[in-house]
């Protein structure tokens, strides 16, 4: 495939294109060109079942380097050969298609591949860190963080190997700097690059479409995110049950899908309190998520990344656990409430206080919106990343 002339980026990610489509975020993949800093971007998903190339836009291409073999045991047997072939193929692509830099979106498998490709092709390489993977593994086991041969310890050693050797390390939060340093990253190579997002839909509401069927006359408390253990979904239902035993002037709307979806639905169906105060609406597209966020008086973001930024941008009062990076957005008593991890009673009390005083909740939501826009507007984040990429290319 041909691309317009100019800088090129190879991005390595552990996910897959179908997941991006299912989450409704596939159009956001084109943002990796960073407002024209890169004329072409090849986004590679090396650990998929498919092998295909998809031209997403004029400047962005999806490349999946999967093993198209149905049997799982055979895919595992072929994995070492597949990885070696993928590294050689992608190094050749970098040279032949004039890619200028390589980036990985996690420091484990993707980071190891990116490092090998970049060294073979003699290009600079950077790795971004999006989570405290040790914490995610403690919460959700192997589903929450990378493991190697079933071992989180081995995966952590790979992360250390990668982070101590790449040209730049880009954690998305201040709290992740310590994570990078603990794995051997050089302090002078670490730059925090906060997530940037186009938040206009959440702020203005133009084009936002809240889900149908919400009970009339009830205040909306919402959760939007992946239904997985690392997002404290069991606590979510406990909060709804305890709050629902006290009052029925609210509805908790749960939007999203994931490994725990069926189990949560079964629990919900068997509990009369939950059936009355909870609505599971499944995965929503971005306009519907924005509509739900804007309709919410309170956003329950017990664990969140982009979901926390979007909830704040929509002007909802935030209720979160004091874990990972949440203090950067959730300022207790100012933009929402920050509670100790698993303090279900504290969350219930916080939400109840917001339901009793909607004016205070909206005031906190307005301050949360102001803070989110100041820290995570796409244009400001893009300019910051352009400077970081320019420094990376100069280093190479």
Residue 61 lies in a domain: yes
Taking only Cα atoms into account, the Rg of the chain, rounded to an integer number of angstroms, comes to 22
Residue 52 lies in a domain: yes
- Provide the domain count of the chain: 2
Query: DSSP characters for 227-278?
Result: -SGGGTHHHHHHHHHHHHTT--SEEEEEE--STTHHHHHHHHHT-HHHHHHE
Query: DSSP characters for 28-88?
Result: GGGGGGTTTT-SEEEEEE-S-S-EEEEE-SSSEEEEEE----S-HHHHHHHHHHHHHHHHH
Helix (H) / strand (E) containing 208: none
Give first-to-last CA distance, the chain, whole Å: 26
CB of 220 closer than 8 Å to CB of 189? no
Q: Residues with Cβ < 8 Å from 229, sequence gap 6 or more?
A: 139, 140, 141, 143, 144, 259, 260
Helix (H) / strand (E) containing 320: strand 317-321
Residue 232 lies in a domain: yes
Q: Looking at the DSSP assignment, which residues form a beta bridge with residue 317?
A: 298
Instruction: Check whether residue 169 and residue 206 sit in a common domain.
Output: no
Residue 3 lies in a domain: no
Please tell me the predicted confidence (pLDDT) of residue 47. Answer: 78
Q: Residues with Cβ < 8 Å from 272, sequence gap 6 or more?
A: none
Helix, strand, coil percentages in the chain from 3-state DSSP, rounded to 5: 50, 20, 35
Angle of the 378-395 helix axis to the 358-376 helix axis, nearest 10:
30
Question: Under DSSP, is residue 318 helix (H, G, I), strand (E, B) or coil?
Answer: strand
Instruction: Check whether residue 119 and residue 158 sit in a common domain.
Output: yes
Instruction: Check whether residue 254 and residue 381 sit in a common domain.
Output: no
Instruction: Check whether residue 182 and residue 109 sit in a common domain.
Output: yes
Please tell me the predicted confidence (pLDDT) of residue 60. Answer: 93
Instruction: Check whether residue 159 and residue 221 sit in a common domain.
Output: no
Task: Give the residue numbers spanning the domain of 311.
Answer: 200-376
Instruction: List the chain pLDDT tens, one digit each, 396 residues.
Output: 444 568 999 999 988 888 777 666 677 788 899 989 999 999 999 877 778 888 999 999 999 887 665 566 565 666 677 788 889 999 999 999 889 999 999 999 999 999 999 999 999 999 999 989 998 888 878 878 888 888 999 999 999 999 999 999 999 988 899 999 999 999 999 999 988 888 888 998 888 888 887 788 899 999 999 898 889 999 999 999 999 999 999 999 999 998 899 999 999 999 999 999 999 999 888 899 999 999 999 999 999 888 999 999 999 999 999 988 899 999 999 999 999 999 999 999 999 999 999 999 999 999 999 999 988 888 888 999 999 999 999 976
Residue 120 lies in a domain: yes
Residue 1 lies in a domain: no
Please tell me the predicted confidence (pLDDT) of residue 388. Answer: 95
Instruction: Check whether residue 135 and residue 270 sit in a common domain.
Output: no
Strands 101-104 and 125-129, bridge-based pairing = parallel
Instruction: Check whether residue 133 and residue 106 sit in a common domain.
Output: yes
Instruction: Check whether residue 103 and residue 249 sit in a common domain.
Output: no
* CATH number of the CATH domain containing 289: 3.40.50.2000
Tell me the whole-structure pTM to 2 decimals.
0.76
Instruction: Check whether residue 249 and residue 135 sit in a common domain.
Output: no
Instruction: Check whether residue 318 and residue 245 sit in a common domain.
Output: yes
Instruction: Check whether residue 237 and residue 132 sit in a common domain.
Output: no
**Max Cα–Cα distance, the chain, nearest Å:** 65
Q: Residue with structure tokens 């404290």?
A: 232
Instruction: Check whether residue 334 and residue 390 sit in a common domain.
Output: no
- In tens, the pLDDT along 110-136 reads 999 999 999 999 999 999 999 899 988
């Amino acid at each position: 495939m041909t691309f317009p002339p100019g800088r090129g980026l190879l991005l390595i990610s552990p996910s897959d294109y179908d997941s991006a489509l299912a989450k409704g975020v596939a159009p956001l993949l084109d943002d990796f060109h960073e407002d024209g800093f890169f004329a072409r971007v090849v986004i590679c998903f090396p650990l998929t079942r498919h092998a295909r190339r998809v031209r997403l836009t004029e400047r962005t291409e999806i490349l999946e380097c999967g093993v198209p073999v149905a049997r799982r045991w055979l895919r595992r047997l072929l994995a070492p050969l597949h990885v070696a072939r993928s590294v050689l193929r992608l190094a050749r692509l970098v040279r032949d298609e004039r890619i200028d830099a390589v980036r990985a979106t996690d420091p484990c498998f993707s980071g190891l591949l990116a490092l090998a490709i970049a060294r073979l092709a003699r290009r600079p390489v950077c790795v971004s860190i999006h989570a405290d993977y040790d914490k995610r593994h403690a919460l959700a086991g192997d589903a929450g963080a990378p493991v190697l041969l079933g071992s989180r310890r081995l995966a952590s050693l790979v992360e250390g190997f990668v982070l101590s050797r790449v040209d730049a390390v880009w954690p998305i939060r201040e709290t992740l700097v310590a994570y990078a340093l603990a794995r051997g990253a050089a302090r002078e190579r670490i730059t925090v690059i906060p997530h940037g997002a186009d938040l206009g839909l959440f702020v203005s509401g133009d084009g936002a479409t809240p889900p149908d069927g919400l009970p009339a006359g009830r205040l909306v408390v919402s959760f939007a995110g992946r239904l997985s253990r690392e997002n404290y979904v069991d606590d979510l239902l406990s909060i709804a049950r305890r709050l629902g035993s006290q009052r029925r002037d609210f509805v908790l709307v749960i939007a999203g899908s994931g490994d725990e979806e069926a189990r949560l639905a079964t629990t919900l169906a068997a509990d009369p309190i939950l059936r009355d105060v909870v609505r599971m609406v499944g995965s929503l597209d971005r306009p519907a998520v924005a509509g739900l966020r804007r309709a919410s008086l309170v956003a329950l973001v017990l664990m969140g990344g982009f979901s926390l930024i979007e909830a704040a941008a929509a002007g909802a009062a935030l209720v979160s656990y004091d874990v990972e990076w949440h203090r950067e957005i959730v300022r207790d008593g100012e933009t929402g409430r920050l509670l100790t991890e698993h303090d279900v009673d504290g969350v219930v009390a916080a939400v109840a206080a917001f339901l009793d005083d909607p004016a205070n909740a909206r005031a906190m939501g307005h301050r949360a919106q102001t803070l989110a826009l100041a820290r995570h507007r796409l244009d400001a984040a893009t300019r910051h990343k352009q400077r970081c990429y320019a420094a990376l290319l100069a280093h190479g």
